[in-house]
A and B are shown apart, each in its own frame.
Chain A
Amino acid sequence: MMLVPCPNCGPRNSSDLRYVGESHSRPNPNTATPEEWRTYLYMEDNPAGPLKETWYCRSGCRQYFTAVRNTSTNEFENHPLPGAKIGSVDPSFHYVSESKSVEGNQ
């Protein structure tokens, strides 16, 4: 069992939420090559340590939010306060247009 700090609902059991995955910057659709799209779709950092990730509070406020969790201990590093405006946790999660932000190489 793991408590996930939802900014609206407070700490909730992880089974109340859906794990969306690592928060990646999306490449610019106008300039991205197929390889860049596949890198964005498939490549993950998968660190054993702090990870910026997206959750969906499906049984509560039904909002997406970003949190930082240590994947070795499952402890969350930032506990957004209940009532904090969605998106104010980390606005970079939504859209970043620079194609240089694409991570990973092969």
Chain B
Amino acid sequence: MTAFKHLLSTSPLASARESASSALGSLKPGSGSKPPRYSAAGLFVKGAKSQDWPRVWREVDLQKSYDVIIIGGGVHGLATAYYLATNHGITNVAVLDKAYLGSGGSGRNTAIVRSNYLTPEGVAFYDRSLSLYNTMSTDLNLNVMFSERGHMTLAHTDGALRTMRWRAEVNKLQDINSSVIDADEVKKLAPSLDTSPNTRYPILGALYHPPGGTIRHDAVVWGYARGADHRGVEMHQKTEVYDILCEGGSGPDGKGPGGKVTGVRTNRGDISAPIVVNCTAGWATTISDMAGVKLPITTHPLQAAVTEPVKVFLPTVVVSGSLHVYVSQTDRGELVFGASVDPYATYSMKGSLEFTEELAGHVLELMPNIGRMRLLRQWAGLCDMTPDYSPIMGFTPVDGFLCDVGWGTYGFKAGPVSGEQMAEAIATKATPKLIEPFKLSRFATGQLVGEKGAAAVGH
């Protein structure tokens, strides 16, 4: 099966996992040596000699100053650091995370990637991300297990079908492989779906997007961390930012519009830096408030769940907006379910029984034959929702303070391109064309980028 051919290549993920977990232990200065390249031969030799794999990234002492401080060690923060080092040669960079790398949304999402959005701005942006994901395993020398298995967004109503056609035409104009298919074709692609007309929400058709698929999200985090470390970027885990130090602003303590960033205050002391980048999710407004920058964001939890593993039967990613659910089967055979965000703003990541009840009901509408499968676990991650379901990227009214936030339920698939574009913005001190539509000032001028119809389910 071509969809699973990526499994055949070598996968040194175990060592990255070990490094991620051992990094939770005591913080020790590392050896500073660069990690070796991974190869099939190396895997064989290590296996034969039962040697330990070296640490994937160094742990060094925190310095007093950096050229750039990135708050948030997830896909966005690490990708920004990686592209700063590789594309622009800026390596005096520190990535700070209050927990461990990839502990937030990067490790909690459902790992789906696609580029079939609704606005031309959104399509161009996410398509660049998909092309970076396509070559990522080679670029990072780490198998990220990209599985280009196709992505189907089901339409259950005439209105939904009309939006699908709209999206398909916008996509085709920008050379994205995306088309509307009917219920028979849906049945051929995913035979387990109930496509009979007698259901409560009959499947009328779908938007089919063959380049979409899934990726091992932890591997993406580890790959960027390893690549950035290799080029001299420092990652500091268990380093929480308490305050952002500013001068010259209109607010208290020199914060606010017109001011300038001078550094950050952390649980490990003050660090000075002329540029501070907010790459957090969930706490985006908490961090930007520290610099006196107000964001139009509310924080909502998004819950997800996974079943016990079974034999592979679902070859594509299936999304249903009307039923508020998306499903994909992992390489291990587990079904991963995601849903819409919880209806009220909160920072609590507690799961709820309502979620599992509703999810199970909706999944069984789609696939009645999996009624006896058991859920393995559920979890939640925090999503920063903006009014127009598009992110907030680039410069802010505070000089030296940049944002890459507001990623709602679509941050993972945009990680690589966000890092690339944010790095360009930092290095050139100008907003790149690709992220120009996502600037913070669009809310004051009323130039919103409405992606509600294509960005998430259940709206």
| Residues of A bordering B, CB below 8 Å | 1-2, 13-15, 18-19, 21-22, 34-35, 38-39, 41-46, 48, 51, 53, 71-74, 104-106
Q: A1-B353, A105-B294 are in contact. Are A46 and B345 (CB under 8 A)?
A: yes
Contact B444 A35 (CB under 8 A): yes
B38 at the interface (CB under 8 A from A): no
A46 touches which one: B285, B350, B354, B443 (CB < 8 A)? B285
For A43, the chain B residues whose CB sits under 8 A away are 294-296, 443
For B354, the chain A residues whose CB sits under 8 A away are 1, 13, 15
A71 touches which one: B256, B345, B441 (CB < 8 A)? B345
Q: How many A-B residue pairs have CB under 8 A?
A: 72
CB closest chain-A residue, reference B446: A38
Q: Say how far A84's CB is from chain B's closest CB, in angstroms.
A: 22
For B441, the chain A residues whose CB sits under 8 A away are 106
Task: Count B interface residues, CB 8 Å.
Answer: 28
Give CA–CA (A44, B443) in the complex, Å.
Answer: 12
Q: Say how far B52's CB is from chain A's closest CB, in angstroms.
A: 40
B387 touches which one: A13, A41, A46 (CB < 8 A)? A41
Contact B294 A19 (CB under 8 A): no
Q: A41-B387, A105-B257, A106-B397 are in contact. Are A46 and B297 (CB under 8 A)?
A: yes
CB closest chain-B residue, reference A1: B352
Contact B297 A44 (CB under 8 A): yes
| Residues of B bordering A, CB below 8 Å | 256-257, 283, 285-286, 294-299, 343-348, 350, 352-354, 387, 397, 440-441, 443-444, 446
Q: A35-B444, A42-B443, A44-B297 are in contact. Are A106 and B257 (CB under 8 A)?
A: yes
Give CA–CA (A82, B347) in the complex, Å.
Answer: 28
CB closest chain-A residue, reference B299: A46
For A14, the chain B residues whose CB sits under 8 A away are 343-344
Give 13 new A-B contacts, CB below 8 A, not counting A35-B444, A48-B286, A71-B345: A1-B353, A15-B354, A22-B298, A34-B446, A43-B294, A46-B285, A46-B299, A48-B283, A48-B299, A74-B348, A105-B257, A106-B294, A106-B444
Give CA–CA (A19, B343) in the complex, Å.
Answer: 7
Q: Say how far B303's CB is from chain A's closest CB, in angstroms.
A: 12
For A73, the chain B residues whose CB sits under 8 A away are 348
